[in-house]
Amino acid sequence: MVKAVVAGAAGRMGSTIIRNILKTEGITLAAAFEHPESPAVGKDVAEVLGLPEKTGVIIADHLEKVIDKGEVLIDFTFHTASLEHARINAQYGKAMVMGTTGFSKEELSEIHALAREHFPLVQAYNMSLGINLLYKLVELATRILGEDFDIEIVEAHHRLKKDAPSGTALALAQVIARTLGWDDSTFRFCREGIIGERPRKEIGIQTIRAGEIVGEHTVLFAGPGERLELTHRAASRDTFARGAVRAALWVVGKAPGVYDMHDVLGLKEV
């Protein structure tokens, strides 16, 4: 039985992940924690999530107070918090699953360096099966259509999402750029005013923030006389939580290093 510790237990993703752990065989909720000012601290997880029966897991106010109880830390919090959690985890060598977005290049580089030295990490901006298949489909479409088609990415999320564009949109752009031999200098995040003719060597990334949209990503390939659109829509956060739990079950016992959902799902050779 894999013992999991969940960060941000009272948050939207943390609570959804906990619900999925509680109904998944082979994994158990060993501990949970929140930031010290959270009103959830000191309460049973069941009370915070509105569950009918107590779990016996009391929400702590710091990772170091509970990290010894688990084998894998699941973290979908905030980029600065996740970085600090990775630094702490490097002292304990626990497996880690991280779905946090909004990292700077420097923050992500430090997290990956810590993982390669101290613990196995599954790090992905989107852990749904559909999105990870979309990465493969986008790579194939880019390879076939090449630079003859203009490529645009449109992503939409709920009005409370803090970072823009989404980590998934950036990951899609990176798949396209890598396939074409480009770099992130070709990413275009904003257009306004008289912009002139669209450069051929450009990947547009547009952001929508509205209502309660869980997550939508469309990659548009537009060429002479035709257009191809590849779209993924998430209807529930359970989509991401199920992927996170699957990653937690997979990563325990792996060697230190950085893994992604393609490793978890066996898509590397697809």
Active site residues: 157, 161
Cβ-based burial of 67 (10 A; exposed 0-12, middle 13-18, buried ≥19)? buried
Cis ω for the linkage preceding 165 (within 30 of 0): yes
226 Cβ contact list (under 8 Å, min separation 6): none
Question: The tokens 């688990």 sit on which residue?
Answer: 70
How would you write 175-193 as a 3-class SS string?
HHHHHHCCCHHHEECCCCC
Question: The tokens 């029966």 sit on which residue?
Answer: 53
| Residue spans of alpha helices (H) in 10-104 | 12-22, 45-49, 79-89
How far apart are the C-alpha atoms of 18 and 248, rounded to whole Å? 12
